Structure 1
Amino acid sequence: MTKEEVLTKICDMVADQFSVNRDKVNGKLNFQNDLDADSIDFVEFVLSLENEFGAEISDEAAEKIQTIDEAADFVIANADNK
């Protein structure tokens, strides 16, 4: 998958999981600051990423993911190519 394809899929997931209008979701959004994600919301999202892309995301790696772009970069670097 290209970064654009991964980013589109993650933006769709974010819109659904965080109940945000898809038109407002982009790679620059910060999970905590822009989406008001608490730790439980974020853990659920990380689990969704793992299931969707086949990526193993350690707690340490998850702590470094702040934005949707960073989530896409991690997925591209670590996911099974679906």
Structure 2
Amino acid sequence: MEGGEAHGSSNSLNPGEGVAVSEEIKAQVMESVIGCLKLNDEQKQILSGTTNLAKDFNLDSLDFVDLIMSLEERFSLEISDEDAQKLETVDDICRYIASKSSDA
């Protein structure tokens, strides 16, 4: 398993892991990312589900907060700070939103 740091939590799964994601959710997330981060054409070309937003686009904490707020508004949900810290890629965000949408 690829992974990184171990956290003290007994639940090591990322929020939404294993949840099916609709194309509509993915398209809306991509649109939010492009708009919030003001991606140029070159950046849009490399944007994919596995893009690590912080590393690949030098996302700082203020940009990240703007993105989270945009997603909360767009999808009418609240993303906890704890969950937000686990959302590193577009796919992470999509799975999280899909899991929250299916909970509703």
TM-score computed with the length of structure 1 as normaliser: 0.86
Q: Which residue of 1 aligns with 2:38?
A: 19
Residue segments in structure 2 that go unaligned for 5+ positions in a row: 1-20
Q: Percent identity between the aligned chains? A: 30
Q: Which residue of 1 aligns with 2:69?
A: 47
What are the Cα deviations for residues 17-76 of structure 1, in whole angstroms up to 9, with x where unaligned?
112233332111111111111011001100000000012100000001010100011111
Specify which structure has the higher proportion of helix.
1
Aligned AA (1:15) = I
Q: Which amino acid in the other structure matches residue 69 of structure 2?
A: L
TM-score (norm: length of structure 2): 0.69
1:4 corresponds to which residue?
23
Q: Are 2:82 and 1:60 aligned?
A: yes
In 1, Cα distance between equivalents of 2:46 and 2:29: 13
Larger Rg: 2
CA distance, structure 2, for counterparts of residue 51 and residue 38 of structure 1: 20
Off by >6 Å, runs of 4+ in structure 1: none
Q: CA RMSD in A?
A: 1.8
Structure 1 distance, partners of 2:71, 2:101, is 9
